[in-house]
Structure 1
């Protein structure tokens, strides 16, 4: 997220923004003068503070609802990875352990950021059952199961953020922050897909993106079918992509479907998350 460009863009559409954040704008720009990783890592949290001071309660109930929806998902992911990386004997040492520790850190940062923006309006963390009512009884004792469930969470997160982007388009600050988290979730999903392909029996052909199948689910795990519902879609903006010509003829159904991530509705995402909430 380029915070300084965001500030400049906000000033273009909101002339009073400069007055509301001055001299905080200069203070945030001065953060980079420290030249340390700690200072750079603090930027999203500094920005969330600026957001609250500049706009107060003007974000509106609708925006808060979307942010709390996102926060619920981030609570789920953050606790899942925190539990996984702290469970002795679950994750083999090596690059996979390093990657999962980084993902755990990212998800914890997402929670902290959203809570910082929401303040007292933030929802409380639910109680989770990561076995999904015994659907995945060995989730914290079987590395393969742990990776499968992690992948389902990340693919859900990508679709969930995309599904809510339209509800945030009236607030560019929040929309930019949400899309930044969306991009991180997408990178997590891609990396986990490669980890699943390398570590899960029968999944070696899994692609770094959601591949085309008749029901949208390319993981072969029937229990997570709702996560992938609609991913086989080939129509975008009322245009069937298979009607376009590629270098070697019409674009195939699989290529058209794999070229886009489909959004999930809030209700669909909550139904998926509800399987893991007590």
Structure 2
């Protein structure tokens, strides 16, 4: 995987938006999705994997109990893909990873934790058009028929109803991207989508390398973080917008009025 280091705010824009031009339609339509992390030592590990221990075997128990005890809040007739989306959205450890179509949103998540302002950040950039090539043949054909490049919950539900079946679809390991339903303003404003691998124990970073999917690691040096953070705030890329409601508002205000290096506003 190619690694690039941002030299400035301007260079970061150039790197993240590079490859956006589509000559077939003469428009700037990027084939990349992004994931920002506040520490470059963080890898593409799912919340499920971060549980440690026998986490792959715990997956079905987590989901079963989420469905069991969450039935008063959600429609129990929904597919496993809808339940996975709900679970991820509400903080349950799952095999999903959050991504965004927006480079600016990825920059937000790379710089929002000012407690890590002295650490280099990273933005993962993956070509979701290119990831098409490593899908099982039948899934790739079905996706191609829709004219899209990522799956929807509805299409996944039509193709496979259980995770155990999903894990056995390919002759080799694979991953895919899918768009969640617009459950609330958070998903909408974050321009969000998820990745999912064909085995709870698979590391997406390894799969990307194995399948030679077009991708980059963009390192944001700690020395650039405050400039990027302040310019994102001026651009209204903040918790108040990305997490609509009082919690997001409070997070934004707390960070906005926190001093830098002991200097109060």
TM range (shorter): under 0.3
Q: Considering only CA atoms, is the larger Rg found in Structure 1 or Structure 2?
A: 1
TM, length-normalised to structure 2: 0.24
Between structures 1 and 2, the one with greater helix share: 1
Query: Which structure is richer in relative contact order (CA contacts within 8 A, separation 6 or more)?
Result: 2
